[in-house]
Amino acid sequence: MCSDHKALEHAALEDLEAMASLPRLQGPLGRLFDWLDKALVGMATLTLLVLAATVLLQVVARLLLPFPVSWTEEFSRYLFIYMVALSAGSVLRRHRNVSVELFHHLLKPRAKAFIQACLYVLIGLFASLVTPYAWQYAQNGVWQTSPTLDVPMMYVFFSTVVTFGLLLLYSALGLIESLIAFCIPVDACAEREV
């Protein structure tokens, strides 16, 4: 029973990984993006840990202290926003966005690469259109401060610039990787990964 369950789980994961089978960029640029991925995921993980500690402090303060700690709710909200912003690019590169993959597992590698390239172009276009407005939005926060922390809201609003900037950067990287996978035969891609 356990081996059947593991086999089904493995098959399901392989079906979900249909689009993640494209080769990654190699060389110094690939190593740079791998390092950037680790740094961003590390910062997002640290943000999550601080978020958990802040919420725990809020719960403990409500139970044990005679007065509420008012800043914890606001601070946890801002931490959550930055956790999402910092992880947006890595999520895109690892193909962990919510998606509907009904037929992707049936496609050949070049067709997968073509579809992935089209998706990266659309994401990149959207991010390039939204980023200037995100910057304007962040600048609106210069004259505002948060209610309890008294922090300039520009720092909070800047998370939109981080999100769309990372999406733009990672969509360009994904487009390059997809075009390489589309132009180079499958056997050559396998040799490059070794």
What is the chain's pLDDT, residue by residue, as a tens digit (194 residues)? 567 777 777 666 565 555 556 677 788 888 998 999 999 999 999 999 999 999 999 999 888 888 878 899 999 999 999 999 999 999 998 887 776 666 777 788 888 889 889 999 999 999 999 999 999 999 998 889 998 899 999 999 999 999 999 999 999 999 999 998 888 865 544 444 44
DSSP state of 99: -
Look at the alpha carbons of 39, 97, 15, 171 in this order and tell me if their dihedral is positive or negative.
negative
CA-CA distance, 79 to 34, in Å (whole number)?
24
CA-CA distance, 88 to 57, in Å (whole number)?
27
CA-CA distance, 33 to 39, in Å (whole number)?
10
Confirm whether pTM is higher than 0.75.
yes
